[in-house]
Amino acid sequence: MLFKIISHRKFRALQEEQRKLKDQCIGLEAEIRKYQQQEDNLDQELQKKDELLEEQSISLKQMGQDFQTLEEEYHIVQEESEANRAERIELTIKDLGMSHEQIEKLWNDRTQLIDMYIDKLYSLAKHFARTSKGLQKNRGLFLVLADYRNMEGSNFSEFHHGQEEHLEQDLYKGIDHLPHLFSTKISEVLAYMGEKTIIKDKSGKITGHEERDGSLLVNLQGVAFRSCMMVEGVRTFRVYEKVDQLQKGSSRHNAAIYASSLAEVMASMVVSEENSEVTLFIDGKFIKRYDPHHDIEITQEQELEAEIEEGKIEAIEGEIALQDDEAEVTEEIINEEDIDIIEEVNDEGDEVAIELKEDESEHDENGTSRLEDKAAVAQPQA
């Protein structure tokens, strides 16, 4: 075995290098343990996630099976319900001693009666608007034709808590004084709803007026039975798909179009306080509008056509405005080019004039010099 003798300095350097290598080895082992620990943690997390996914998968499969079972049960219940309903209808018809044809005729009669009441209410509203025009007064009105037997208590309420019902007075009691649509009493009720409430102080002195808010409810017997009623939970087309978007109107129009979408309401109409226009709504849709100032009526189809025409006119006006802008830009460019050309022509004309003047001056100088030459030549001869 051979040995090599090294110096003390080199030996110390080798020892220092060995120490550094040991320290690096210890650091690398620590990093390896750290990475192994991270790997173990990741494995545990993945295992937990896999277990959770497995549980969710099992839960979803169970929910799918439950949903399928419920769907089958729902179809069975629906079929049984339809069968029971058809059976009840048949039994009811048999108990009434009527046939299907007679029931259908009764339903048609009911539909015709509702249409007649709607037409009458609309006619009364138009008369009210024309009267307001004649009196030169802006009176508002909100009418609702409703089936009170199917009314839900949450849809309509008193506008002012504890208010006294105007229609419960003795003035409207008895068959001869009912506020029916075909009675003169209904005009008194409409006039009452359109007038302003007088506000008095404790001494009885009149201190002001306020509009009578709320709607007048008319049942399917054609009798007004509630006044100053508020429509609860009014929603617009943005959050309620059963109503259309209003093209014009106020908060009262919003309440009217919403009310017309309710199951117990057949129709609703509004006489505007601003311009006395009469607007009819059925099933959450605008039907027609009457303008008493020009005595014209606009239907749903006419308003749609007008909107289309307005859209076309706006498009044409936009194109014309664009063409005008382009023409103005072109004209400005042409004017600038004309100015440049005129300036160039003027500059050229000035240059030509200057050149001509220079030629004339040169010609004059030449002529003068020639005369001087001739004089110089002739002088010796003299």
pLDDT at 204: 74
Using the predicted structure, report yes or no on whether residue 339 has a pLDDT greater than 60. Answer: no
Question: For 207-217, what is the mean pLDDT?
Answer: 75
Per-residue model confidence as pLDDT tens digits over 272-329: 988 899 999 999 999 999 999 899 999 888 877 776 776 667 767 777 777 777 666 5
Tokens of 153: 């208590």
Contact assessment for residue 275 and residue 293, using Cβ atoms and an 8 Å cutoff: yes
281: left (phi over 0), alpha (psi -120 to 50) or beta: beta
Contact assessment for residue 139 and residue 195, using Cβ atoms and an 8 Å cutoff: yes
pLDDT at 373: 46
List % helix, strand, coil for the chain (3-state, nearest 5): 60, 15, 25
Tokens of 198: 């007088």
Cβ neighbours for 164, distance < 8 A, ≥ 6 positions apart: none
Contact assessment for residue 293 and residue 132, using Cβ atoms and an 8 Å cutoff: no
Using the predicted structure, report yes or no on whether residue 15 has a pLDDT greater than 80. Answer: yes
Question: For 166-194, what is the mean pLDDT?
Answer: 90
pLDDT at 49: 92
At 270, give phi and psi (nearest 5°): -130, 135
3 state SS of 155 = coil
Give the rounded distance of the alpha carbon of 365 from its chain centre: 90
pLDDT band at 352 (very low <50, low <70, confident <90, very high): very low
Question: For 152-176, what is the mean pLDDT?
Answer: 82
pLDDT at 374: 39
Question: For 215-219, what is the mean pLDDT?
Answer: 93
Question: For 43-63, what is the mean pLDDT?
Answer: 92
Least confident of 170-184, 194-208, 367-381: 367-381
pLDDT band at 157 (very low <50, low <70, confident <90, very high): confident
pLDDT at 114: 95
pLDDT band at 359 (very low <50, low <70, confident <90, very high): low
Using the predicted structure, report yes or no on whether residue 8 has a pLDDT greater than 60. Answer: yes
pLDDT at 268: 96
Using the predicted structure, report yes or no on whether residue 3 has a pLDDT greater than 80. Answer: no
Task: Give the E-state strand segments of 183-330 in sequence order.
Answer: 196-200, 206-211, 215-218, 224-231, 265-271, 278-282, 285-291, 296-299
Per-residue model confidence as pLDDT tens digits over 71-98: 999 999 999 999 998 888 888 888 888 8
Name the residue with higher pLDDT: 194 or 123.
Answer: 123
Pick 110-199+206-294's CATH classification: 2.40.50.100, 3.40.1700.10, 3.30.1490.20, 3.40.50.960: 3.40.1700.10
Give the rounded distance of the alpha carbon of 207 from its chain centre: 41
Cβ neighbours for 100, distance < 8 A, ≥ 6 positions apart: 93
Mean pLDDT of the chain: 82
Q: Which of 274, 199, 286 is nearest to 244 (CA)?
A: 286
Question: For 13-35, what is the mean pLDDT?
Answer: 91
Give the rounded distance of the alpha carbon of 292 from its chain centre: 29
Name the residue with higher pLDDT: 329 or 140.
Answer: 140
pLDDT at 59: 92
